[in-house]
């Protein structure tokens, strides 16, 4: 089994769910860090959801406040999230083009 550390990014996320990362086939992924940065001049809220390959969509965070000039660590520290093949991490915000996301992952193939 090969282990590969990766960084995934997505800019200007807005009102609708935006897929940030989809776990590839024949792969397990561990999210080791996820940061959401507010890029606007107003306070916003953000949602992070995990859509698993069985069709269940579960919130990791819902309506989490992100103040002006700040960020939210949705996953990190002692918390990790394991993804299976075809699972998807999605992010949305309360304002258009307002969130940049960085995702640090470990893919196991």
Q: Which residue has the tokens 């959801």?
A: 49
CATH number at residue 16: 2.60.120.1330
Provide the token pair at 59.
């919130």
Indicate the pTM of the whole model. 0.94
Q: What domain count does the chain have?
A: 1
Provide the token pair at 77.
């520290």
Local structure of 11: helix, strand or coil: strand
pLDDT in tens, the chain (109 residues): 799 999 999 999 999 999 999 999 999 999 999 999 999 999 999 999 999 999 999 999 999 999 999 999 999 999 999 999 999 999 999 999 999 999 999 999 9
Residue 74, Cβ neighbours under 10 Å: how many?
22
* Domain span at 100: 3-108
Q: From CA 9, how far away is CA 48, in angstroms rounded? A: 14
């Amino acid at each position: 089994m090969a282990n590969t550390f990766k960084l995934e990014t997505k800019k200007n996320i807005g009102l609708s769910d935006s897929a940030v990362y989809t776990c590839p086939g024949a792969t397990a992924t561990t999210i080791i860090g996820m940061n959401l940065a507010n890029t606007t001049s107003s306070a916003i809220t953000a949602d992070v959801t995990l859509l698993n390959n069985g069709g269940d969509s579960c919130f990791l965070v819902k309506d989490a406040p992100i103040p002006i000039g700040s960020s939210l660590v949705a996953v990190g520290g002692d918390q990790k999230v394991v993804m299976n093949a075809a699972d998807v991490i999605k992010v949305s915000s309360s304002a258009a083009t307002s969130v940049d996301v960085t995702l640090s992952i470990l893919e196991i193939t």
